[in-house]
Structure 1
Amino acid sequence: MRQFSVWSSRISVIASFRFLIEAKQSLCKVKKIASSYLLAMTITIILTSLVTINANAKILLPQILSSNMVLQRDKPINIWGFAAAGERITVTFAGQKKEALTDNKGNWAVVLNPLKTAAQPQSMLISGSNTIELSNILVGEVWLCSGQSNMEYAMRKLAKIPKPKNEKLGFPADEVVQAKNKQIRIFLVNRKTLIKPDSIHKSWSVAEDSALRSFSAVGYFFAKELQQKLGVPVGVISSAVPGSAIEPWISEKAFADEAYFKDKKIGNDPGKFYVPMIEPLTNFKIRGVLWYQGETNCFLNETISYAYKMKALIQSWRKAWREEFPFYYVQIAPFDYSKQKSEKVVLSADTEPAFWEAQEQLLRLPNTGMISTSDLNDNGGDLHPTYKWEVGRRLAIWALAKTYHQKIDFSGPIYQAVTFKTNQAILNFEHLNVKDSGTVAGFTLAGANGKFVPANAEIKAGKVWVSAKEVLHPKAVRYNWAENPSGNFYSNGLPALPFRTDNPLTQQFKIN
């Protein structure tokens, strides 16, 4: 299987390094207490072990395979690891028994037949020169969460934040105390240890107590909603780094494969986090990916370049897993970017809306979805707004509708097209309920002079009619085009995505 050789090479280096340290410590003790004969024998054993892998070397597993894990249902499951060269490994799980012979580098791998949902814990035995038992394993749905600080934002912070202003969205400040659902399992990626072998086999945890306090709030609330609505075990992997730009999450090869970046210099350490925090996971089967990142790149005033970076990330991750899995992501929340000082670029009131526009371009890729957070920040100066439970819920309902095919409303209005007539503009939207009607705020209108003014907008017969007495011949419409939007255009209980009809990226961004 791909990545095994690279992984095992890393394991070999780590194991040898540990062995040398332990050997040196042992020799120091031996010099003090043992005879010269014993010392000579010890040295002989050490040297022999360094020349060739010990025939009795223990089986090693990657961190992602451990007790308490959730395995993805209905897909062939990879189980892999490292042992002595030429060793026969047997994996027994859920009535299946698979065998493999390690190669000359010690790699081994088996593939289990697709598994059905299993809410009752099971054990997996992995046997060779030694036997490893992984216990409390469930079979259900597995999702990977990644991004920067708003994805990393830990559950423990909920107990310390002020009460949110929008009481309709609730406030689960005591969620960690209340969480007792053993059908939800979590795995928190440590960028320094994921590539190391697992010796305790407890990297996965039940979503409760101290493990949950340190876990992604968005990831947990997504899993909670999914588990309640599907009634199956849910596992969530969080691999996020605060302050990270998008580039470190993309391999150098992925940048090389995207024509847009030909002859362009890529900053921000391409692959820095992909190699240690994503690549080791690519043999572990998942249902899909959740992504919440962008603030760092927005500070650089990026637009189309970010869209192409997201395209490279999505396509390269799908290629690495060999699946065109669902990729659902979060529109970054409102923030006062124009009030921030930057030595690199000039930030304005248009900086964030233009970035939202770039994020929205990825909806043109298959099997993607974006949720709006334009209404989820009580303070424009807060880069980490508190409503993480609602972000997780909105991601979950998108997944429930599009991945699990439940008949539910999962999106607010998304702009499709506009028709201009004398004195008014008529807009069509996807996900606008035909039963909705009434006036809405947040729209602006401009004529040929490009000057936008506040407009009147009304929902009628599944369309939005926009006009302004100052604009006799409208040419462009915008909605919530501000870093502190105040529009109230909702449908299905969800906010509309901000947009402008004079969007330049429609023609500039190519998905093929």
Structure 2
Amino acid sequence: MRTNTFLFTVLVISIPYSLSADSFTFFNYYHDHMVLQKSSTGTTIWGQSSKVNDVVHIQIDNKEVAQTTVSSHHIWEAKFTSPSDNTPHTVSAVSSLGTIHISDVLFGDVWVCSGQSNMEFNLHGVLNATAEFADSANYPNIRFLHVHRQYSASPLTDIDSVDAVWNTPSEKSLSSFSAVCWLYGKYLSQHFNYPIGLVETNWGGTRIEAWSSPDAVRRCAAFGRKRNQYSQSQLYNAMIYPLLRNTIKGVIWYQGESNAAHAYKYSCQFLEMIMDWRTKFNTASLGTTSSSFPFGFVQLAPWREGEANLGFPQLRWSQTSNIGYVPNGLMQNVFMAVAMDLPDFQSPYGNIHPRYKHEVAYRLYLGALGVAYHETDVDFEGPFPTSARIDKSTSILTVEYDRGLHPIEVRSYNGFEVCCVNQTTTFCNAFDSHWINVTMTSHSFASISLDVSSCSHGNHVTQVRYAWRESPCAFKQCAVYGKMNNLPGPPFTYYVH
């Protein structure tokens, strides 16, 4: 179990513009048709007022549920018990300056969808976009908001603006919304049949440093000091910090391509960002967002066919804190979608932007059921090794797995490598020239066998790795899939005994 020491930072309050003498408003996050998080710990709502110390009464359908006082920073914030039903409500805030309303408000689960261009990739780009738009009308209880791109050198109290306020689904409203975010919400809605809120806040081509607070950046080595959307904390300040006071269920994340050139750093950067977001959401939301809220991510998809660059596989490994799977002892309440078997080299949007977002979103959804919603009958992970042993008399390396392998077919016998070194060497790094390709010779329900006879002449095998390529296989044609769930086993590197 990892013990984390967090730097608790007082929220910086900075009103971006002067208030008129009789100003009393909700912040930009709050609009008609929105979804607020349904939570046993309460739900937050907040806004601003020009009248310090004024009392604000929060009402749901004209019944008071909470009251609060305007702070010296002109902020009012309240926590209330959310309704238990799935029907629309009117939420009001009443003060001496007047009454403000948001109507058609649902209470359900709110997920934040963040990252770079593959999270930004909109629904128009998926392979069956026309059918998806037509089907969207069947999900009126899914509501979504798109945060406008903005960067800032200091934390902003409110989101600068929104590209789309809380919308109900239609072809027009979904035309520029994240495909992964929408499809993930759709699968959740189909399963639970209650309201789902989706908050898209992303920016293509950005690095993780830009989405990390100064606290998280300090805990890992940083680079890049320019003031733009690529440099540290600029997007956190403008597109995450203003959301911290809101109650959410969890986050899904699709990012990492822009950090592949420095993949070794990512294991620290990603973990620290997750833990830091959890702490800051929990503190700013008056404890209504869990301090261990579920966090799902997409492991990097393929990019270029036949490319030997090892930055992508190393970053996939770093995304799991160098353990290979999640959740794990470092990354608790974390789930992932393996996407390395979903290449789209002919994508009209560039082969770094595969169109197979349905598969990505569905794999995230399965992970959410198992990790975020604690459903015990969901098999949401692909197979992962538990041991790797070599029979020196036959030069056969046997890799045993923790869950059953797909029994029907082996889609590929390739993708495996061993570290072949002299007797005095015990380790190969990811870029070492001593890695050699080996072939699967047989498989069973629980193991595979590899012929390692090519490692000879006084050398020996110390490690085995799998799918350690930028684009390791053709579409859904990797070597290892699960017996029951047909999910791909993730890439790994493992010591041989």
TM-score bracket for the superposition, by shorter chain length: 0.7 to 0.9
Q: Tell me the percent identity.
A: 27
Partner of 2:469: 482
CA separation in 2, counterparts of 1:476 and 1:295? 26
Deviation at 1:86, TM superposition (A): 2.7
Residues 183 and 234, structure 1, Cα contact 8 Å, conserved in 2? yes
SS at match of 2:358: helix
Contact 2:344 2:353 in 1 (8 A): no
Q: Does 1:88 align with 2:52?
A: no
In structure 1, the gaps of 5 or more residues are 20-53, 164-170, 340-347, 504-512
TM-aligned CA distance change 1:459 to 1:287, over 3 Å: farther
Query: What amino acid maps onto 1:241 in structure 2?
Result: W
Distance, in Å, in 1 between the alignment partners of 2:272 and 2:464 is 31
Whole-Å separation in 2 of the counterparts to 1:58 and 1:451: 67
In 1, distance between residues paired with 2:320 and 2:435?
Answer: 24
Where does 1:159-178 land on structure 2 (aligned, <5 Å)?
A: 171-178=128-135
Deviations 1:116-172 (A, max 9, x none): 2x32111111112121111111111111110000001111233xxxx5xxxxxxx45
The equivalent position to 2:486 in structure 1, one of 466, 478, 493, is 493
From 333, 355, 378, the counterpart of 2:301:
333
- After TM superposition, the structure 1 = structure 2 runs for residues 401-480 of structure 1, keeping only pairs within 5 Å, are 401-406=370-375, 407-422=377-392, 423-430=395-402, 432-433=403-404, 436=407, 439=410, 440-446=412-418, 447-448=420-421, 450-471=434-455, 474-480=461-467
Partner deviation per Cα, 1:20-73 (whole Å, 9 max, x = no partner): xxxxxxxxxxxxxxxxxxxxxxxxxxxxxxxxxx2xx13121111221111111
* Paired residues, number: 433
Structure 2 residue aligned with 1:313: 273
Describe the superposition over 1:418-453 as per-residue Cα deviations: whole angstroms up to 9, x where unpaired: 2232212222333x2267376452243433353412
State how far apart, in whole Å, the 1-side matches of 2:344 and 2:333 are.
Answer: 31
Q: Which of 70, 88, 97 matches 1:102?
A: 70
Cα separation, 1, equivalents of 2:99 and 2:159: 15
Structure 1 equivalent of residue 147 of structure 2 = 189
Distance change >3 Å, CA 198–CA 68, structure 1 → 2: farther
Measured in 1, the distance between the counterparts of 2:338 and 2:45 equals 37
> Is 1:349 matched up with 2:318?
no
Distance of 1:213 and 1:326 partners within structure 2: 28
Mark the CA change 1:197 to 1:244 in structure 2 (over 3 Å): closer, same or farther.
Answer: closer
Deviations 1:315-365 (A, max 9, x none): 1101111211111111111112986xxxxxxxx432222222212227331
| Secondary structure, aligned partner of 1:317 | helix
CA contact (8 A) 2:271 2:321 kept: no
Quick check: 1:68–1:204 contact (8 Å CA) kept in 2? yes
Residues 287 and 196 (structure 1 numbering): CA distance in 2 closer, same or farther, change over 3 Å?
Answer: closer
Aligned counterparts of 2:129 and 2:58: Cα–Cα separation in 1:
41
The RMSD of aligned alpha carbons is 2.8
Map 1:103-502; keep pairs closer than 5 Å. 103-116=71-84, 118-128=85-95, 129-158=97-126, 171-180=128-137, 181-192=139-150, 196=158, 203-256=165-218, 258=219, 260-261=220-221, 265=223, 267=225, 268-298=230-260, 301-322=261-282, 323-336=291-304, 348-361=308-321, 363=326, 364=328, 365-379=331-345, 382-406=351-375, 407-422=377-392, 423-430=395-402, 432-433=403-404, 436=407, 439=410, 440-446=412-418, 447-448=420-421, 450-471=434-455, 474-486=461-473, 487-491=478-482, 492-501=485-494
- Contact 1:247 1:269 survives alignment (8 Å): yes
Work out the CA distance in 2 between the residues paired with 1:463 and 1:436.
11
Change (3 A) 1:269 1:493: same
* CA radius of gyration, larger in: 1
Tell me if the contact between 2:159 and 2:243 (Cα under 8 Å) persists in the aligned partners. no
CA offset at residue 97 of structure 1? 2.4
Higher-helix-fraction structure: 1
CA distance in 2, matches of 1:98, 1:445: 61
Query: 1:250 offset after TM fit, Å?
Result: 0.4
Task: Give 2:32's aligned residue.
Answer: 67
Displacement after TM superposition at 1:225 (Å): 0.3
Q: Which moved more, 1:230-239 or 1:483-492?
A: 483-492
TM-score by length of 2: 0.80
Query: What TM-score, normalized by structure 1, do the two folds share?
Result: 0.78
2: CA distance between counterparts of 1:416 and 1:394? 23
Q: Distance in 1 between matches of 2:317 and 2:451?
A: 23
